[in-house]
Amino acid sequence: MTPGERLRAILFNRAMEVTVKLFGILRRHRPDGIEGAPHHPFTTKLPPAATVDDLRSLLGLRNGSLSAVGVNGVSADSETSLHEGDVVSFFPPAAGG
């Protein structure tokens, strides 16, 4: 779905709402103006048939910036379709030493 198609779907009220959880350094991608602490989940609207990759792009997360994604507590890939009420968790790569 192109950005224009995404915007049209949202404007014409065909949007679905999903909950987003950002972990670690990814919390800096929390959209401005959303209430709550950076570690709190937030909701966002997406067009029908949106995928994990569409949401990743909307949030400004670069390809390769994730180590794992979960949808409703189950491991997911970039092409996983999202549905109304889903909870999507984005995890950054782990570092240690």
Tens-place pLDDT, residues 40-74: 999 999 988 899 999 999 999 988 888 999 999 99
| CATH code of the region 16-30+49-97 | 3.10.20.30
Domain-wise residue ranges, the chain: 16-30+49-97
The whole-number pLDDT of residue 13 equals 62
What percent of the chain has a predicted confidence (pLDDT) above 70? 84
The CA distance from 66 to 71, in Å, is: 14
Cα separation of 3 and 94, whole Å? 31
